[in-house]
């Protein structure tokens, strides 16, 4: 049962691949809270994924777009404004992929062409989305833009490899574009730094299961689930957080403030 926190709001949700995707839960919660949305993912992901099911369930149209392609992003936001009947109130960036991790390249032996691709998909796509929204003036005043991040942007988690730098870049884009969007039309831009979560992207990281358990024990509240992350995104899209911008917000059950936990020493 929703509380109409997003009643009358229009949004675009990227990155829902299957039921495990964080974006999948965010889409469900946004609609439950009264929003109307469009869904988007890379054309290739639409072939493998189950997005049609989510689209049916949420009454949303799917607009394919490779988030590294400016023309496709322009079309995505123009069509979304048209379909939803006006400028957007919120946008979720929930996109990440590392070519070097996928191909099991060690951090001390990275392929730089693959690294460029990783940055483009995982971080520069966020700037591209915002630049497209900016140029089309597609965001409503007091709108909210959120991207999902991970604490490897601040601390070293060796197996996360070049995704650490991707997330550092992503968070920096949120601060820099947050300035421009804030001063022009009071739009806020934040990143949510989420706990390890069992999804396609998450499980691609080496040793994910061991790490998931470690983080769960280290966090006083345990790992934050994707459902809880969806709740937090709803809050950030709602009018209850109008003055929060240019922040990286930890949604991690307390993990980021811990030094040592007796639960680990066991």
Ligand X SMILES: NC(=O)c1ccc[n+]([C@@H]2O[C@H](COP(=O)([O-])OP(=O)(O)OC[C@H]3O[C@@H](n4cnc5c(N)ncnc54)[C@H](O)[C@@H]3O)[C@@H](O)[C@H]2O)c1
Q: Which residues bind ligand X (CB under 6 A)?
A: 14-15, 17, 21-23, 41-42, 45, 66-68, 94-97, 121, 148-150, 194, 196-197, 199-202
Give the C-alpha separation, 27 to 96, whole Å.
17
How far apart, in whole angstroms, are the C-alpha atoms of residue 249 and residue 173?
14
CA 116 to chain centre: 20
Q: Are 124 and 172 in contact (CB under 8 A)?
A: no
Tokens 């403030």 belong to which residue?
257
Render the burial of 1-33: b for 16+ CB within 10 Å, e for the rest.
eeeebbeebbbbbbbbbeebbbbbbbbbbbbbb
Query: Min. distance of Cβ 77 from ligand X in angstroms?
Result: 14
Least distance (Å) between residue 109 CB and ligand X: 22
Least distance from ligand X to the Cβ atom of residue 16, Å: 6
**Tokens (6 digits) for 41:** 């993912």
Of the two residues 31 and 65, which places its CB atom closer to ligand X in the complex? Answer: 65
In this complex, which beta carbon is closest to ligand X, that of residue 84 or of residue 151?
Answer: 151
| Closest distance of CB 185 from ligand X, Å | 25
Q: What CA–CA distance (Å, rounded) separates 201 from 167?
A: 14
As a dihedral over the C-alpha atoms of residue 24, residue 27, residue 30, residue 32, rounded to 10 degrees, the angle is -80
Query: Are the C-beta atoms of 164 and 156 separated by less than 8 Å?
Result: yes
Residue number, 34 or 64, with CB nearest to ligand X: 64
Taking the least distance from each CB to ligand X, the nearer of 77 and 140 is 77
Beta-sheet pairing, 36-40 with 61-62 = parallel
CB–CB of 167/149 below 8 Å? yes
Q: Name the residue nearer to ligand X (CB basis): 39 or 138.
A: 39
Tell me how far, at minimum, the Cβ of 110 lies from ligand X, in Å: 18
Residue 115 CB, shortest distance to ligand X, in Å, is 15
Q: Which is nearer to ligand X, 32 or 216 (CB)?
A: 216
**Closest residue (Cβ) to ligand X?**
202
């Amino acid at each position: 049962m929703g509380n109409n926190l997003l009643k009358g709001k229009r949004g675009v949700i990227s990155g829902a691949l299957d039921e495990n995707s964080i974006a999948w839960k965010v889409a469900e919660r946004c609609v439950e809270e009264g929003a109307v949305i469009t869904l988007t993912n890379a054309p290739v992901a639409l072939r493998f994924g189950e997005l049609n099911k989510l689209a049916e369930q949420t009454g949303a149209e799917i607009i394919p777009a490779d988030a590294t392609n400016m023309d496709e992003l322009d079309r995505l936001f123009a069509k979304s404004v048209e379909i939803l009947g006006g400028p957007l109130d919120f946008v979720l960036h929930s996109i990440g992929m590392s070519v070097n991790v996928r191909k099991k390249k060690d951090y001390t032996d990275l392929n730089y062409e693959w690294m460029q691709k990783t940055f483009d998909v995982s971080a520069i796509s966020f700037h591209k989305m915002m630049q497209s929204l900016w140029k089309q003036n597609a965001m409503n005043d007091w709108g909210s833009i959120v991207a999902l991040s991970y604490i490897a942007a601040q601390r070293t988690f060796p197996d996360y490899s070049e995704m650490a730098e991707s997330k550092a870049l992503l968070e920096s884009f949120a601060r820099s574009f947050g300035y421009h969007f804030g001063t022009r039309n009071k739009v806020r831009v934040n990143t949510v730094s989420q706990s390890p979560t069992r999804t396609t992207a998450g499980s691609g990281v080496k040793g994910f299961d061991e790490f998931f358990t470690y983080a769960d024990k280290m966090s006083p509240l345990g790992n934050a689930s994707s459902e809880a992350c969806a709740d937090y995104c709803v809050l950030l899209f709602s009018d209850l957080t109008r003055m929060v911008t240019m922040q990286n917000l930890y949604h991690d059950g307390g993990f980021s403030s811990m030094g040592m936990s007796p639960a680990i020493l066991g």
